[in-house]
Amino acid sequence: MKKKLISIIIPLLNEEKNIPLVYDALREVWVKLPTYEYEFIFVNDGSTDHSALAIAALAAKDKAVKCIEFSRNFGKEMATTAGIEAATGDAVMMLDADLQHPPLRIPDFVSRWERGAEVVVGMRTHNASDRMVTRVGSKIFHAISGLISETSINKGETDFRLIDRVVVNAFKQLPERERMTRSLINWLGFKKEFVEFEAPARLHGDAKYSTSKLIHLALYSFVSNSLLPLRLAGWLGLCITFLSGLLGIAVFLERYIFNDAFSWHVSGSAQLAIINVFLIGIVLMALGIIALYIGKIHGEVAGRPLYVVRKRMNF
Ligand code: UDP
Ligand code: MG
């Protein structure tokens, strides 16, 4: 029987010291799981150090080592996408080059896959090296994301994942330009299982994601997964218009119809303020309505497939 092929994708930016280490760790896994074939796809995302040489050295002695080298830095999400598109395996496993996604846990992913899971997600229980800002930021991100996003990313879900060939094929049909691999895979659906792991501290080099890059990624993720922020303006406007409208009517009746019978003594400037707030409410409501149209455009432009098929029978 032909052995199943597992593609391992490693996006990397300036990881010259980590590359040989991650490769050695992957070889160890290989020894533990000899019933599979492997290909190791290193995606060099515009490294400026000697990462390219380190990969070439591995490729020279091992035909299973493949490399895609970008012309410049395009970001980890693009590197991962390039790897997934190039992978030929029955399953595709993606992991960071910095050993924070421990390769020794790969057999756990594979066994869940063999039991029928189509997406196996690494859940990080503890991260030794997280900076304070990143930790707090990640908490806030997941809280907001859980509140507003239709396809949320749960806390702890990482890019350390295995996806089955059906998921790979579906993933390749997603045309979005700005992308976050994790949320796209979540959007696709499929049978999902989890593997918990502890992320050790980075061995060499620094984290490549600056705080500003992370904020950008988080904002993008909100905007692409949810229209709620846009709609909120509309709802706020509706409330403001309704309440100030009621107040306005009451003040008008009291002042001009009943000739200040209840002695509210509403001043002229207070009346102006009420009218003003009422108009602001209308403007916000208009924004909310525009949001509905933008939402439609957003959905059309994203151009995601209408549905995702797991399998067809007798066609
Ligand atoms: N990475 C990449 N391109 C980038 C930034 C990062 O390919 O523009 C790679 C990096 O080399 C590593 C992985 O993505 O293999 C995760 O990066 P990092 O360790 O900096 O992120 P963190 O661990 O903080 O999530
Ligand atoms: Mg890392």
Name every protein residue with a CB atom under 6 angstroms from any ligand 1 atom.
11-13, 15, 45, 73, 75-76, 79, 96-98, 100, 207-209
Residues 6+ positions from 82 with CB-CB distance below 8 Å:
43, 68, 70
Query: pLDDT confidence of 218, banded at 50, 70, 90?
Result: confident
Task: Decide: 118 and 191 in contact? Cβ < 8 Å.
Answer: yes
Task: Reduce the DSSP state of residue 6 to 3 states and report it.
Answer: strand
Query: pLDDT confidence of 152, banded at 50, 70, 90?
Result: low
Task: Indicate the DSSP class of residue 262.
Answer: T
Task: Decide: 107 and 29 in contact? Cβ < 8 Å.
Answer: yes
Instruction: Give me the pLDDT at residue 117, please.
Output: 93
Instruction: Give me the pLDDT at residue 78, please.
Output: 94
Q: What angle do CA 190, 192, 197 make, to 5 degrees?
A: 150
Summarised one tens digit per residue, pLDDT across range 48-70 is 999 999 999 999 999 999 999 99
The rounded Å distance from CA 46 to ligand 2 centre is 17
Protein residue with its CA nearest to atom 22 in ligand 1: 207
Query: Residue 153 above 70 pLDDT?
Result: no
Instruction: Give me the pLDDT at residue 141, please.
Output: 77
Checking DSSP bridges between strand 36-44 and strand 4-12, what pairing results, if any? Answer: parallel
The rounded Å distance from CA 208 to ligand 2 centre is 8
Q: How many other CB atoms sit within 10 Å of the CB of residue 194?
A: 17
Tell which residue, 86, 151, 146, 94, has the closest CA to residue 119: 94
Task: Indicate the DSSP class of residue 256.
Answer: I
Tell which residue, 36, 311, 69, has the closest CA to residue 169: 311
Kindly report the pTM of this predicted structure: 0.76
Summarised one tens digit per residue, pLDDT across range 247-290 is 999 999 998 999 888 888 889 999 999 999 999 999 999 988 88
Please, what is the average pLDDT of the chain?
A: 88
Query: pLDDT confidence of 143, banded at 50, 70, 90?
Result: confident
The rounded Å distance from CA 207 to ligand 2 centre is 6
The rounded Å distance from CA 239 to ligand 1 centre is 44
Instruction: Give me the pLDDT at residue 149, please.
Output: 65
Strand order, beta sheet including 36-44: 65-69, 36-44, 4-12, 91-94, 157-164, 119-127, 192-199
Alpha helices in the chain (DSSP H): 18-32, 51-61, 76-86, 106-114, 132-148, 165-171, 181-188, 211-225, 228-252, 268-302
Q: If you average pLDDT over residues 303-315, what whole number do you get? A: 87
Give 94-126 as a DSSP string.
Answer: E--TTSSS-GGGHHHHHHHHHTT-SEEEEEEEE
Q: How many other CB atoms sit within 10 Å of the CB of residue 23?
A: 22
